[in-house]
Structure 1
Amino acid sequence: MTLIYIGFGVGLAIASGYIIGLLKLEKWVEPFVWELQKSRQATPLEDEDNLEPVALTWGQRFEQGRFQSSEIVRSVWLYVVGGIAIGAGIHGYVPTDFITQYAGANNPFAVPIAVILGVPLYANIAGVMPITEALVNKGMPMGTVLAFTMAVTALSLPEMVILKKVLRPQLLAVFVELMTIGIISIGYIFNTIIN
């Protein structure tokens, strides 16, 4: 399932980037992005030829690994705990009949509903996994769960706020449209393949 998620996610990103490139929408990128790129190209690294790799001792490597691991845990622990809490709530309190009625295989609108429900949530993949596990255990089809998971990570409102800083509203709208169509399509395709 993880490989399928990654495969579909990368495929959707490549296809969307290609479409945006074909449409030549660069004019809707905020100007400071282009200025930043030009300034980086104009000032190459000084003394670039004399850069040599630094040999680290095993102790330094372990210290660096411990530091990086603690930074990762510090940045995701809240999302993981939140995801576990929501997943536990779904697992313990949301009736199976409710899930199967609104997001089950018999509802042709289950995939778009799952995508819409995923947008207000904000979590990284580690934080959303407990929720997806609970949804699968309650009987939600895998394609619908996959669409929900992709919407949480790619279409969340905080993600749009971040993108708004570098993309103008027109390009942001095109991005959201492409992602939404792609994610819903992936959900339906995967549901068709599995069933």
Structure 2
Amino acid sequence: MFDWLQHIADWLVYDLLDLDQEQHLAEALNFFIYDTVKILILLVIVIFFMGIVNSYFPIDKVKNYLSRKKLYGLEYLMASLFGVVTPFCSCSSVPLFIGFVRGGIPLGVTFAFLITSPLVNEVAIGLFIGLFGIKTTLLYIISGVLLGTISGIILQNLKLEGYLTPWVKDILANAQKEQDLFKAEKQTFTQRLPIIWTEVLNILKGIVPYVIVGIAIGGIMHGYIPEGFFEKFMAKDNLFAVPLATILSVPMYSNASGILPIVQVLVSKGIPLGTAIAFMMGVVGLSLPEAMLLKKVMTLKLIAIFFSVVTLCIIISGYLFNIIL
């Protein structure tokens, strides 16, 4: 989808700036240019789309529907399954987080989607089948969906709404006012567009600095962490290899398809598949750049709770993978 953008980034870094592809700076800069433009495009599309949705969706009805006890937790499973079929990376988490919460979707259900979406997607599934076979791929999909579902349920029961930042709370308050305005005036779609676009620009102004800083951190990690740095901590005979792999993955940044070739290399060098997958899940779902992005919408305490719950679930998944496979 973004192959054209990669060609532009390559031209800027390797041709226009004449940097050597083997240089750490060139790799980091290429990563930064490509991901910054890609994510800004995704941000505009996602925020604009969610603005349209939120202008029509009855917030109160959504809240009531997802709060019904007869769903028996299926809303978390549905959110995780929706995450599988959406091509969003962790850096799209801020606008998606805002859009879901503005739409009246409970925080835990939102977390279920945000956890699963970057971990499992159609590209990663295709690569997984080619690298590790259908059996391992099915286990990977099931574990990713369960990880999002269980984490979402746990986070919802912790009642964390009070730890959202004031910026998000203001957006939520304005969302209801906007919807009341749309209803009262019965505006056409064309009449709604200026209000929706103004909200898009307001949200972008608030989060773009965090996005750029987060991607910059990811670019530095991507370009300067030496190859093979983590392998000595993931040896097969190390009982604590899974939690160590998960914790060591936090400074890294990549999407699931980008980290899979590294997982294949780790497995080929004798590292257990569960340990390697725990590392992959940590890179995709617990990265330092993602924490930087989430700082705009979550307090530090909420980020710490969110990361702790997901870390625990990833570690358990890693051990289970090692036992099963």
Q: TM-score higher than 0.5 here?
A: yes
2:323 matches 1:192: yes
Contact (CA 8 Å) 2:278, 2:317: kept in 1 or not? yes
Instruction: Give the aligned partner of residue 30 of structure 1.
Output: 165
Instruction: Give the aligned partner of residue 117 of structure 2.
Output: none
Instruction: Give the aligned partner of residue 269 of structure 2.
Output: 138
Aligned partner of 1:148 among 247, 261, 279: 279
**Aligned letter for 1:152?**
V
Structure 1 residue 3: Cα displacement: 3.8
Contact (CA 8 Å) 1:142, 1:190: kept in 2 or not? yes
Structure 1 residue 31: Cα displacement: 2.2
- Write out the 4+ residue segments of structure 1 that deviate beyond 6 Å after TM superposition: none
Q: Deviations over 1:9-63 (max 9, x none)?
A: 2322222221121111110011221321232233235315x99xxxxxxxxxxxx
Report the Cα distance in structure 2 between the residues aligned to 1:5 and 1:116, rounded to whole angstroms. Answer: 20
2:141 matches 1:6: yes
Instruction: Give the aligned partner of residue 63 of structure 1.
Output: none
Instruction: Give the aligned partner of residue 295 of structure 2.
Output: 164
Residue segments in structure 2 that go unaligned for 5+ positions in a row: 1-135, 193-214
Where 1:120 maps in the other structure, the secondary structure is coil
Instruction: Give the aligned partner of residue 69 of structure 1.
Output: none
Could you tell me the percent identity over the aligned residues?
Answer: 42
Contact (CA 8 Å) 1:119, 1:157: kept in 2 or not? yes
Contact (CA 8 Å) 2:233, 2:245: kept in 1 or not? no
Q: Deviations over 1:85-106 (max 9, x none)?
A: 989x44xxx8xxx94x642332
Aligned partner of 2:177 among 42, 54, 62: 42
**Aligned letter for 2:241?**
A
Report the Cα distance in structure 1 between the residues aligned to 2:143 and 2:277, rounded to whole angstroms. Answer: 10
Question: Residues 105-116 of structure 1: matches in 2 within 5 Å?
Answer: 105-116=236-247
Shift in alpha-carbon separation, 1:175–1:119, aligned structure 2, 3 A: same
2:265 matches 1:126: no
Contact (CA 8 Å) 1:86, 1:131: kept in 2 or not? no
Structure 1 residue 120: Cα displacement: 0.9
Report the Cα distance in structure 2 between the residues aligned to 1:24 and 1:182, rounded to whole angstroms. Answer: 19
Where 1:43 maps in the other structure, the secondary structure is helix
RMSD (Å), alpha carbons: 3.0
Contact (CA 8 Å) 1:105, 1:141: kept in 2 or not? yes
Report the Cα distance in structure 1 between the residues aligned to 2:235 and 2:316, rounded to whole angstroms. Answer: 16
Q: Which moved more, 1:2-11 or 1:110-119?
A: 2-11
Shift in alpha-carbon separation, 1:149–1:21, aligned structure 2, 3 A: same
What's the TM-score once normalised by structure 1's chain length? 0.69
Residue segments in structure 1 that go unaligned for 5+ positions in a row: 52-74
Instruction: Give the aligned partner of residue 17 of structure 1.
Output: 152
User: Relative contact order (C-alpha < 8 Å, sep 6+): which is higher?
Assistant: 1
Shift in alpha-carbon separation, 1:103–1:171, aligned structure 2, 3 A: same
What's the TM-score once normalised by structure 2's chain length? 0.43
The number of aligned residues is 158
Report the Cα distance in structure 2 between the residues aligned to 1:10 and 1:110, rounded to whole angstroms. Answer: 23
**Aligned letter for 1:116?**
I
Instruction: Give the aligned partner of residue 313 of structure 2.
Output: 182
